[in-house]
Copies of this chain bind each other. A is one copy, B any other.
């Protein structure tokens, strides 16, 4: 099932997407819903961020090729994390499928994409074992963890390097039925293939992360966990369009523009 959050006729809410057709629901996928008789064409609505999370989690360094390539570019030894320490991103930076990523006027040329699988939590959870960790998951969407690499090196935190407004595209929808091991993440810049990797080839897997996290923290419906990226990105500039496709979910597309 595909959950989409959208605006039509000035009203924002959830619907179920079937092909190119949305069936509007009352309520939402987290607290409960009922199908209505109203439907919309996908291309006639404004797609919104699938959920504004209560807490926005991000795994960071979670694919070994990414860690090695980034370290090589910086001329340092790669440091492979020894344990699954979850990190954070910020809600101010979220934008929907189709919305522009605005490059701040004083950013350097080192603006890059990171295509990521996003886990959407459906049920409140604490102290889950690895075996039942996925029981709290509603479904999966796609994130682009846009990063300004110069600020990432110079600043004490990731605030503007990772969380400048519009730096966190997420969407286009939540897919509840996936085959994690069959998924490929494919990134295109201006329609040309730029990067491809096996989505589930993570250093620490989804169930492991959720189990570790919930030993100390409660996950709430609508929380999201971005799972990190593999490989590395070229520098992006205003005018570029980035697609992050994850097979079985869909494609998250965002144009990059310059701040005015």
Q: Is A197 an interface residue (CB 8 A)?
A: no
Chain B: which residue is nearest A104 at the CB level? B216
CA distance A61 to B156 in the complex (A): 10
State the oligomeric state as a number of copies. Answer: 2
Residues of B within 8 A of A85 (CB): 155-157, 159
Q: Do the beta carbons of A90 and B156 come within 8 Å of each other?
A: no
Interchain residue pairs with CB less than 8 A apart (11): A55-B90, A55-B91, A60-B157, A85-B155, A86-B159, A88-B157, A159-B213, A160-B217, A163-B216, A164-B216, A165-B217
Q: Do the beta carbons of A217 and B92 come within 8 Å of each other?
A: yes
Q: Is A87 an interface residue (CB 8 A)?
A: yes
Interface residues on A, range: 20 to 34
CA distance A159 to B160 in the complex (A): 20
The 4 lowest CB-CB distance pairs between A and B, nearest first, are A85-B156, A160-B216, A164-B216, A87-B157
Q: Mark A57-86, 1 if CB is under 8 A from B, else 0.
A: 000110000000000000000000101011
Q: Is A135 an interface residue (CB 8 A)?
A: no
Residues of B within 8 A of A164 (CB): 216-217
